[in-house]
Amino acid sequence: MAELNKQARVTMQELLVSSLVQADALAKLSIDNGVITREEFMKKLSAERAVYQRLIAEADQEYKINSETLQTTWG
């Protein structure tokens, strides 16, 4: 195994690709080994996507409210 360089910086793109590869491999192994079915995985993936989209929408709304408050206060 390659030795980890603790001084190396990781770009956001590298981090994203690494996370996607890990998630993809785990899902494929789980399906291939009969831990879950493809249908179960897709159903759960869809449900989790909806949760994340809701959280992102709420965070965007909160950011918009805070930005408007700052502009009113300091604008």
Q: For residue range 9-65, what is the model confidence (pLDDT) as tens digits?
A: 889 999 999 999 999 999 999 999 999 999 999 999 999 999 999 999 999 988 887
- Alpha carbons 70 and 52: distance in angstroms, whole number: 27
Please give the Cα distance from 54 to 10 (Å, whole number): 28
Helices 12-32 + 38-74 axis angle, to 10: 150
* pLDDT for residue 8: 80
pTM above 0.85, yes or no: no
Residue 7 has pLDDT above 90, yes or no: no
